[in-house]
Amino acid sequence: MIRLYWKELLDLKPYKIVMTGSLYPQALAALEEQCEIKKWEGPGPIPREQLLDWLQDADGLVSTGNVKVDGELLAAAPQLRVIAQSSVGYDNVDIQACTAKGVPFGNTPGVLVETVADLTYALLLAAARRIHDGWEMVKSGRWTPGAAVPFGVDPYGKTLGIVGMGDIGSAVARRAQASGMNVIYHNRSRREDDQALGTRYVQFDELLAESDFIVVLVPLSASSKGMFDRDQFAKMKPSAYFINASRGSIVNTEALYEALRTGGIAYAALDVTDPEPLPVDHPLIALPNVLITPHVGSATHETRGRMSDLTAANLLAGLAGKPMPACVNSSAQRI
C-alpha cells in the first residue's frame, strides 16, 4: 500500500528534507528518490544549533522524536511544509504552534499496537515469574544443586488494572485474559465496548486499591505528568506489581523508588524512566525488585519498518498537498 502511495507522488520536485535520525532502508530510499536529504548521523541527538541552521531552507522535517518541535524551531524554518515523526507519541511537539504556522504534523498510530502490547505483557510476566533474577542466578554460577531459586507469583486469577485503555490497553487486556486474569481499567472516559472486551471500568483510586498488577499506558500530557506520586503508590497493595510502558515522567521516580525500597509495592517493570536514559548509578537500578528495559516498546524489525513506511508516506503526502495517512492536526494540511 505504501509503495503504491509513493508511485502516485513521483511528480514531486526535489524538496529539501532534514532528518534527525534514521528510517528503514526502503522508506529512506523512497525519500531519496524524490528529495534532497540532510540526515544527522550522530552520535547522539542533533545539536539544536545545527538543526535550526539546516531548517532555514527545508521543506520537510523527519523527526525520530529526539528533538523539541516548538515555536523557535518553526520560526527558523520559514519554508517548512510538513513534519513527519516516526513515533505514535508526540509530547515533544507543540501541536498548537504547528497548526498556527500551517504545518501539518504526522505520527505513526496503529502500526505498533500489538508490538507494544507484547512488550508490556512480557514485562508483566517477566516480573511476576522473576525471569531476570533467574537468569542472573544462572549467569553468576549461583545455580547449584539445592540452591534456592527465585520465587514469583501467578498472574492466573489475579486482577490487572490498566490505566489508559486505548488500542494498546485493549490489546494487553486480551493477553491478560488468555492468562486467566481479571481486567479492570481506568480511562478519561468509559469505553462503550466493555462487555465485548470483558473488562470493567472503575475509578482511579479503586483501580489502585484492587489491582495485583497495574499497567500504565496513558499518553504524556499536562494532566498525566506525575500522576503516579507518593499518594498513588500508598493506595496500592504491598504485593502490587507496577508496569510502565508509556512515558517516564508520568511517574515520580523518587516516589517509585521509595515505594519499592520500603515495601510499599512489590516490584516494578519499566520500559520508560525519568530521566531517560537512567544513569547507571541511579539508586533505582540498585534495587533487587525492579526490571528496566531501554524504551524498546516498538523495537522490532517489522514494526519499525512499518513505522518508517508510514513516516515516509506522511512526509510525501504533506509535501504534495495530499491528505496525510496519519495527521494529528489535519486542519493545517494544505490540500
Exposed/middle/buried for 8, CB within 10 Å: 0-12, 13-18, 19+? exposed
* 165 contacts 185 by C-beta, under 8 angstroms: yes
247 is catalytic: yes
Active-site hit among 295, 304, 306, 334: 295
32 is catalytic: no
Active-site hit among 8, 254, 276, 302: 276
* 322 contacts 335 by C-beta, under 8 angstroms: yes
301 is catalytic: no
Q: Residue 318 and residue 59: Cα distance in Å, rounded?
A: 10
* 22 contacts 43 by C-beta, under 8 angstroms: no
Q: Residue 314 and residue 195: Cα distance in Å, rounded?
A: 36
Dihedral sign computed on CA atoms, order 267, 271, 274, 277: positive
Q: Residue 298 and residue 118: Cα distance in Å, rounded?
A: 9
Active-site hit among 130, 247, 304, 306: 247
Q: Mind telling me the catalytic residues?
A: 247, 276, 295
